[in-house]
Every structure is written in C-alpha cells, then in structure tokens.
Amino acid sequence: MPTYTYECEKCSNIFEIDQKITAPPRKRCPECRGKVFRVIHPVGHILKGSGFYRTDYRSDDYSKRKIAEEKPAPSSPACDGCAKKKDCGA
C-alpha cells in the first residue's frame, strides 16, 4: 500500500497516510480541518540492462567524429599571437 504525503493549505501541517491506490485522496487536515493537497515527491529509479552506457549504443563512426570535434582547431599561419586577438578571432 503506497504512502501519500499531504500538506494543509491553512496550517501548513504535513502528514503521511497509507492509502490504497484506488482510495480517494484526503480533502481535510486532521488537525484544523483545512483544505489539503497531495505533495508530489521526485521518484528515484534505477536503469538496468543494456543500452545505458555510451559504449552500448554509439557507433564507432560517431565516436570518431566526436573525438575529432573535441580536438583544438589548428591556428592559422597568419596569426602570430598579436595583442589584437579580438580583431583576428584567435
């Protein structure tokens, strides 16, 4: 049976209730009888099986292109490391 977390809009009381999935959600706070809403929590999940590593689904051609893109571009022969780097784009 899942545990649901609720928060009261009136008194900010946070409480948990074990409910069946088919049960209707709570509408009132047990302390002040104010209106409540269900708090949504992030869910942790584990990915198992093949296809979750880059070596499992990337082709050799893709890997070679990616490595080539990561290499620094050769500098142009006209560039001598001048102080005007903003103008020449080096």
What single string gives the DSSP state of each residue in 30-59?
TTT--BEEEEP--------STTSSHHHH--
pLDDT of 52 reads 64
- Does a structural domain hold residue 67? no
- Does a structural domain hold residue 56? no
Looking at the structure of the chain, the number of domains it has is 1
83: left (phi over 0), alpha (psi -120 to 50) or beta: alpha
Prediction pTM value: 0.47
Q: Which residue has the tokens 């584990």?
A: 46
- Within 10 angstroms of residue 28's Cβ, the number of other Cβ atoms is 13
Write the CB contacts of 32 (distance below 8 Å, at least 6 apart in sequence).
8, 10, 11, 13
pLDDT of 10 reads 94
Q: Which residue has the tokens 């009888």?
A: 33
- Does a structural domain hold residue 10? yes
Which tens digits make up the pLDDT trace of 43-83? 877 777 766 665 566 667 777 887 888 876 666 555 555 65
Q: Which residue has the tokens 């020449």?
A: 88
pLDDT of 87 reads 58
pLDDT of 69 reads 83
- Does a structural domain hold residue 75? no
- Does a structural domain hold residue 9? yes
Residue 18 lies in domain: 3-39
- Does a structural domain hold residue 68? no
- Does a structural domain hold residue 84? no
